[in-house]
Structure formats: structure tokens, C-alpha cells
A and B are shown apart, each in its own frame.
Chain A
Amino acid sequence: MTRLLSVGVLMGLAAVWWLAASGSVIFPTPPQVLRGMAELAKNGMLVRHVTASLYRVTFGYGLAVLLAIPLGILMGWSPTAFTAFNPAVQMLRPISPIAWIPLAILWFGVGDLGPTFLVFLASFFPLVVGTTSGVQMVGREYIRAAQNFGITGFKLFRTIIVPGALPTIITSMRVALGVGWLVVVAAEMVGINSGLGYLIIDSRNAGMRYDLVVAGMIIIGTIGLLLDVVMRRLETLKEVRWRFVRGS
């Protein structure tokens, strides 16, 4: 029933769009966009660009997860590490990854590496901040109990700190993937010739194909939604359910 409702909202939006666009010469209607999508699917462009974007996100985000989570755990656990790294993190964090584009082109040229680097930057900071606060928020009562039972060192880390912070880490992983997906499209609009961002900018530049522009946008939205659904699955793992159940 609720699912039907969400389909209804989408249909409603499409209807408003259709009505608004029907008089326009340049803005495409839903059927035009659907035809555009079919065209992209047929000539292989859809698969090519989607693959290119997902590839960059996978590596940029993957690297961010590998580096940011250990750093966040360290910063959350050790006040010294927090004092040392936090100012740097907080200063670099508000710089939009887009602002790094000139440097990315300078350093990495016009290949896959540039956008991958930008996705890495975009995902890295939410992950560090989320993981740090996740570790800092592990209940004092649990750490005291562990102390009481003589659980120390690596065992404390493995059985108390990391599992206690895991729900927050997973939420920040979800946020970071969303931001990474947001940024890859922007990064692909400059100095590169593949990916969904390129598809959009090229469709406009090469012939005012706004049907393909909107088709690209809808594909981006759909993939973003699917990524979020996958990440939400992680929140239902039984090791982290405790944080996400309400009223207990």
C-alpha cells in the first residue's frame, strides 16, 4: 500500500512535468525522454557511461573506506590523535571536492584517476567524522564493564569499541556513498569523455539534446536510489540492529 503511494507520487511528478513541458520547444516531455533512454540503451552509451561512473565511485569510495575508517577509529579512541588530526580534517572538509578539479587535472591528467580522486575526497571526510564520533559515543557503561571483566588491549578494541561504533560507521558509509555519487557526476563534466556527467554535458554541447540530458539525470537518480537501498540493507545486519530499533 505504501509502495503504491510512492509510485503514485512519482507518477504525479511526471504528470506535472508533462503538462509543464508540453508547450515548450526545447524542454523534453516524458515520452521524449523515454525515447532518448531507449536510444542510449540501444547504441550502448547507457552501459558505457554507467559503467564508467560506477567504476570511479567503486575505487574512490573503496579507498576512502579503507583509509578513513581506521583513521576515524584512531581519532575516536586516542585523544592525542584527535587533537593532532581533527583541525586538519575540519579544515579540509568544508572545501567542496569540485574546487579540487583544477588540481586533480594537474596531478592526474584527463583519465579515470581525476574523478576517482574527487570521489575519494568527497567520501573520505564524512567517513572520518562519522567513524570518530561513533567510537567516541560508545557508552561509558560498556567500557567500564569491559574494564571490570579485565577485557583490555586488542580484545577491548575488537569486542567492544568497533562493534559499539559499527552502527554509526555504517550510517556514515551510507552518507559517504551518496556524496561520492553526487560528486562523480560533477567531476565527469570537466576534462573527461565518459561517465554520466560527461553524457549530460556532451548531450547539451553536441546538439542541444535535452531529452538525453534529462534521461541522464533520471538514470543518476535511479542508481543513487539503488545504492542507498543496498546500504540500508547493512543497517538490518543483526550485529547493528540494536541501534536502529526504536523503543528498546
Chain B
Amino acid sequence: MGANIAVNAMCKSFRAGDGRVSAVEDMSFTVRDGEFVSIVGPSGCGKSTLLNVLAGFEAPDRGEVLIDGRPILAPSRRGILITQRGSVFPWMTVRKNLDLVLNGAPKTERQHIITHHLNLVGLGGFGERYPHELSGGMLQRVEVARALVAKPDVLYMDEPFGALDALTRLTVRNELLRIITRDGPTCLLVTHDVEEALHVADRVFVMTPRPARVACIVDVTAPRPRRMSSPELVGLKERILTELGVCVADVA
């Protein structure tokens, strides 16, 4: 399971006041099947726009986006987008949320798949709860479980853990890594947290300020599970921060 992604000379602008603001300009990159790519960049650089285009919610102005060689024309189950805001339907139980996106399978099989995925994200006992009865971290885990139940080829994550406190963030991130490596969709994670990007990714794309372009690509070859304090990762972090224009001496 997974898909390769090819972005060729893609441009995307949007209306702002009288004129148009270019959000993404002449962007090209490829992502391999099953690869985990983190995208970091200054805030407002067009990272979210990029994911919206990739997931089919917005059409590119120019250039093309190919998933497994085919252009993306509309959102589909093949590429699920998870955002910071969350979209677990609050009017149905956790179980119903997962059940809703599972179509076609007989009931017992669906129940089995749902139970499996809830256990996978550590929410085995919470299926009958309503979203407002869960904490933010639990909700994001439901979000991930629901996305995985749909068996997407690509998982797009737009700062999915941005609203969580630092500790919960780390827990959910570790969990995500554990699940993803097992199940294997191609993953694109947009984040402003360089450490988070390095923790999870095979490669990190560093973006320029708006309009977004790929400034550089950093390969992360360190074996998992990763220790963020390892000299290799610390070095990469400094390199990315420098690329982003943050003076490393100030951070360290």
C-alpha cells in the first residue's frame, strides 16, 4: 500500500484583496511509494496550500500533480488529509465515525476492522464514546485511525498535532510512527517543528518563504527509533534551522 507522488512545475495562487498572491511557485518534487516526507517552512509559506492541492481540494493553476502517474482532479479516499483542526464528526460515536468511512464490507468484518484500528491507536475501550467526551490527543488518534481505516495510498498531515501539548504530541507522534511503518501509506507531514520533522521522516523538504519552493531536501538516514539527541540529528536540525534563516547560536 502506498503511491508515488510527482509534482511538476506546479503553481498555485489565490485572490487577496485586489491582486493575487502566489502561494506555491514552480514547485517540483517526487515522493517514493511508502516514503515518509516532512515539509517544513516559515509560517504562511504555502505549505497548507500545497497539501490542499495534493489532496485534490484545490486545482493547481499550472503544472501537474500525479499520484501513481495519474492527475488528481478531486479529493478521494486514496489520499486522506488530516488537519490540526480535526474533523471527527461530533454527532456520532468514535465507532460510527470509523464505520462511516468503511463501505462495502459486511457488518461483522467492519466491526472487526474497527476494533483492530481502535486498538492500534490505543483507544480500544472508547468506541462507544462521543468525540466531546475525549481529550485532544485522543481525538487526533481517532482522526488517524479513521484515515487508516479508509486504506489510503497517501496520508497528508497538515500540522496534525499542532493543537496538542508537547507531551501528548510526542506520544501521538510515536504512535503514528509505529502504525504507519506497519501499514505503509506514503506520508506527507507539514509541520513547523523541525525536530518533529526529523523524528519521523525519511526526507525533509525545506521550503522558502512565500511563494513556496523547495529550498533544499535533507535525507534522514538515521535508524528508527530515533534519539533526537544523536549528533547526526542535531547536525541536521542545525542545518535546517540555518536554511530557514534562524541563527543557530540563538537556539542552542
- Seen from chain A, the residues whose Cβ lies within 8 Å of a Cβ on chain B are 139, 141-142, 144-145, 147-151, 159-160, 163-164, 166, 238-243, 245, 248
The 8 Å CB contact of B76, one of A142, A150, A159, A245, is A150
- Where chain B touches its partner, the secondary structure class is loop
Q: Are A142 and B77 within 8 A (Cβ)? A: no
Inter-chain contact B92/A142, CB cutoff 8 Å: no
Q: Which of B4-12, B15-23, B35-43, B81-89 contacts A (4 or more CB under 8 A)?
A: B81-89
Point out the residues of chain A lying under 8 angstroms from B79, CB to CB.
Answer: 148
Q: List 14 A-B contacts (CB under 8 A).
A: A141-B85, A142-B89, A145-B87, A147-B74, A148-B79, A149-B77, A149-B101, A159-B92, A163-B89, A164-B91, A238-B130, A241-B132, A242-B90, A243-B90
Name B's A-contacting residues (CB within 8 A): 55, 57, 74-77, 79-81, 83, 85-87, 89-92, 100-101, 103, 130-132, 150
Q: Which of A148, A163, A238, A245 has most B Cβ within 10 Å? A: A148
Contact of B91 among A144, A147, A239, A245 (CB under 8 A): A239
Q: Which residue of B lies closest to A164 (CB)?
A: B91
Residue from the list B75, B77, B103, B150 in contact with A144, Cβ < 8 A: B75
Question: Does A150 lie within 8 Å of B77, measured CB to CB?
Answer: yes
Q: Check A242–B81 contact: CB distance below 8 A.
A: no
- A149, A166, A238 interface centre (most CB from chain B within 10 Å): A149
Known A-B contacts A149-B150, A159-B100, A248-B132; A240 and B91 likewise in contact (beta carbons under 8 Å): yes
B55: which A residues are within 8 A, CB to CB? 148
Give chain A residues whose Cβ lies under 8 Å from the Cβ of B150.
Answer: 149
Beyond the given pairs A149-B77, A160-B89, 5 more chain A to chain B contacts, judged by CB atoms under 8 angstroms and listed by A's residue number, are A144-B57, A148-B81, A239-B92, A242-B130, A242-B132
